[in-house]
Structure 1
Amino acid sequence: MKSSDSMDKRKVPMFYYVIGTIFLAAVLVVCVFSPSNERSVDRLHSDCLCAKGQGTTTEEMEKLHTNISVPPHESNDDNFALLLRKAATDDKRVIITDVNEAFAAPNSMLDLFLQSFHNGDNIGHFLDHLIIVAMDQKAFEKCNSVHPYCYLNEQPGINLSSEKVYMSKDYIDLVWSKVRLWQFTLEQGYSFLFTDVDVMWFRDPFRHISYYADMTIAADVFYGNSEDHNNNPNTGLVFAKPTRKNIEVMKYWREARERFPPMHEQLVYDNIKYELVSKFDLKVQYVSTEYWGNFCQPQKNFTKLSTFHACCLVGLETKFANLKGVTEEWKTYKSINHKS
């Protein structure tokens, strides 16, 4: 009788061990075979680690880490994914800009933008890693005539071809469309530097990016501290790493548009930047206007400038004329100094 009892007692822990092993196997199968459009590879890895007891999250962070990938109709853009693969550097970094018909017209902003790489200080090679996003068919055709990596990003039911009045509905739609592509780029595993097409490039702007930061953003007005969120952000130049955190930030940023319906993406970012810091521990670097210059806080010291942005100017003609003047100043500086 004692022998039988002891045998039964030994069977009980073995029973729980078998049940536990079956449960763990089932969880791992779910992790591995979940549909790809429901989780990114990064999240798949993290979720499986948590299932095996090798990682823990708070209830709040678990909620924030749910459903981080883009919807299927956005994530299945094979054409853009192919361009990313072709244009990326060896360390999976790309440069992205966008244009519509007005900005891509002959002898207009796109031409001036591309020329700036040739006029700059040994930065022509960056064109090999530039993707130009065309918002309409005419801009796409112009891009194809001057550059190898062009992507047509037409928005159904929206005409984005003409110059858009600042803060008009079409303008808002145009600027928000780029944030969707930023999120997609990160989910494909690429870091990006987005540059507005009305930014002139003189030197390598990557040299001003501190890689401790999750994101690096230009400033309209810079107050002296690169980590100070009181700096006025300008999303005409944005660098982001392909991390899960940044993917979640992009999604949260896009969803915040519904809370601020009249605002473009830059103003919404300015309204939620402290939320992003508290929810995601987002580390943001703002670059001094000494290096990423503009017309809001103009500091045209060509010994320091890497880029110059036509922000705080209204109208395509005004932007073009003023940037043309800055370009001529740069050429004069280079001819006098020979080396910058």
Structure 2
Amino acid sequence: MIKNSEDARLERVLRAAAMANGTVILTTLNSAWAEPGSVVDVFLESFRIGDETRWLLDHLVMVSLDLTAHRRCLQIHRHCFALTTDDGFDFSGEKNFMTDGYLKMMWRRIDFLGHVLAKGYSFIFTDTDIVWFRNPLPHLHHDGDFQIACDHFTGDPDDLSNSPNGGFAYVRSTSATAAFYRYWYAARERHPGLHDQDVLNLIKRDAYVARLGVRIRFLSTDLFAGLCEHGRNLSTVCTMHANCCVGLRRKVDDLGLMLQDWRRFMATPGSDRHSVTWSVPRNCSMKKLGR
């Protein structure tokens, strides 16, 4: 939970960053991802070179999980919020997938996002290992309260069999979505050792979620892409995620290649752009991961 001493500071940051409709863009950052030349630099650069995305930086709040990350945020960005932990857990180092530190960090994120909803702010949450090439807002479903990207997309945005990826989500602030996030966070105790995405898969069909009336919709991997699954068409992609990739260096390398692919696409005459395709995954390929 957010401490009382932090709540007023959070409100100031959110109010300063919010769009006219009360929507903010949120990402979380620790020191490993905040180092110069690491993930955060590629992330911010994508907004600067994307198609009509630079203005979105005015609405981005970086939520720092340790002091080193917060200091770096203050050097490179306008809206920064330092999130402390009650138990003093250190989130500063690289947190590999499914380690104890990774799980604590993911669940801290869910708790925080639920608090943002309860304060009346809608949000787009984005992992920092996602590059933004187009404004995603026009491509969200107009009737979805909770919209989430996928590792695998079945083609039907209403199909609960889609495989959600919590790295990118849009959530409208309502009493129902705030209750949904509280329920999701509490469900970690019934499913110890699982991360937020796996628990979401377990609860998305629960009767309580249905009674809340939260409209869950899944986002196409043609628009909200990732290394797990994406279309080859750079003419449609809004965001690209370095998912299905273990290791910070591998992520940084392939994220850098994504920026190169985008620059190559933008420099190509319109009639020939269809010929430009992704050069990733390369460092993040399944073969290199030993799978």
TM-score, normalization by structure 1? 0.77
2:166 partner SS: strand
Give 1:280's aligned amino acid: L
Structure 2 runs not aligned, ≥5 long = 274-291
Give 1:82's aligned amino acid: R
Match of 2:238 among 289, 296, 306: 306
* Partner residue, 1:295: 227
2:116 partner SS: helix
Tell me how far apart the structure 2 counterparts of residues 230 and 74 of structure 1 sit (CA, whole Å).
39
* Partner residue, 1:316: 248
Give 1:287's aligned amino acid: L
Match of 2:32 among 93, 102, 105: 102
- 1:219-264 Cα offsets, whole Å, 9 max, x none, are 1100110110101000101111110000110100010000111011
Tell me how far apart the structure 2 counterparts of residues 75 and 258 of structure 1 sit (CA, whole Å).
27
Check whether the contact 1:293–1:300 (CA below 8 A) recurs between aligned residues.
Answer: no
* Partner residue, 1:136: 66
How many angstroms does 1:104 deviate by?
0.4
- Quick one: structure 1 residues 249 and 88, their matched pair in 2 at CA, closer, same or farther if it must change by over 3 Å? same
Give 1:213's aligned amino acid: G
Give 2:236's aligned amino acid: K
How many angstroms does 1:75 deviate by?
9.3
Check whether the contact 2:180–2:209 (CA below 8 A) recurs between aligned residues.
Answer: no
- Structure 1 position 150 matched with structure 2 position 80: yes
- Greater Cα shift, 154-163 or 222-231: 154-163
- 1:70-106 Cα offsets, whole Å, 9 max, x none, are x784696111111011000111110000010000000
Tell me how far apart the structure 2 counterparts of residues 101 and 193 of structure 1 sit (CA, whole Å).
22
Give 2:136's aligned amino acid: P
Match of 1:326 among 237, 253, 258: 258
Tell me how far apart the structure 2 counterparts of residues 280 and 220 of structure 1 sit (CA, whole Å).
26
Match of 1:114 among 24, 44, 56: 44
Query: Bigger relative contact order, structure 1 or 2, given CA contacts below 8 A and separation 6+?
Result: 2
* Partner residue, 2:160: 229
How many angstroms does 1:154 deviate by?
2.6
Structure 1 runs not aligned, ≥5 long = 1-70
How many angstroms does 1:278 deviate by?
2.4
* Partner residue, 2:196: 265
- Greater Cα shift, 227-236 or 181-190: 181-190
Check whether the contact 1:208–1:287 (CA below 8 A) recurs between aligned residues.
Answer: no
Between the aligned residues of both structures, percent identity stands at 34
Of Structure 1 and Structure 2, which has the larger fraction of its residues in helix? 1
- 1:268-308 Cα offsets, whole Å, 9 max, x none, are 11111101542322211101100000011132311110000
Check whether the contact 2:2–2:112 (CA below 8 A) recurs between aligned residues.
Answer: no
Check whether the contact 1:277–1:283 (CA below 8 A) recurs between aligned residues.
Answer: no
* Partner residue, 1:206: 137
Give 2:54's aligned amino acid: G
Tell me how far apart the structure 2 counterparts of residues 74 and 173 of structure 1 sit (CA, whole Å).
21
Give 2:189's aligned amino acid: E
RMSD value, Cα: 1.7
- Quick one: structure 1 residues 151 and 320, their matched pair in 2 at CA, closer, same or farther if it must change by over 3 Å? same
- Quick one: structure 1 residues 72 and 117, their matched pair in 2 at CA, closer, same or farther if it must change by over 3 Å? closer
Check whether the contact 2:136–2:238 (CA below 8 A) recurs between aligned residues.
Answer: yes
1:115 partner SS: helix
Tell me how far apart the structure 2 counterparts of residues 133 and 208 of structure 1 sit (CA, whole Å).
25
How many angstroms does 1:338 deviate by?
6.3
Q: Which has the larger radius of gyration?
A: 1
- Quick one: structure 1 residues 165 and 78, their matched pair in 2 at CA, closer, same or farther if it must change by over 3 Å? same
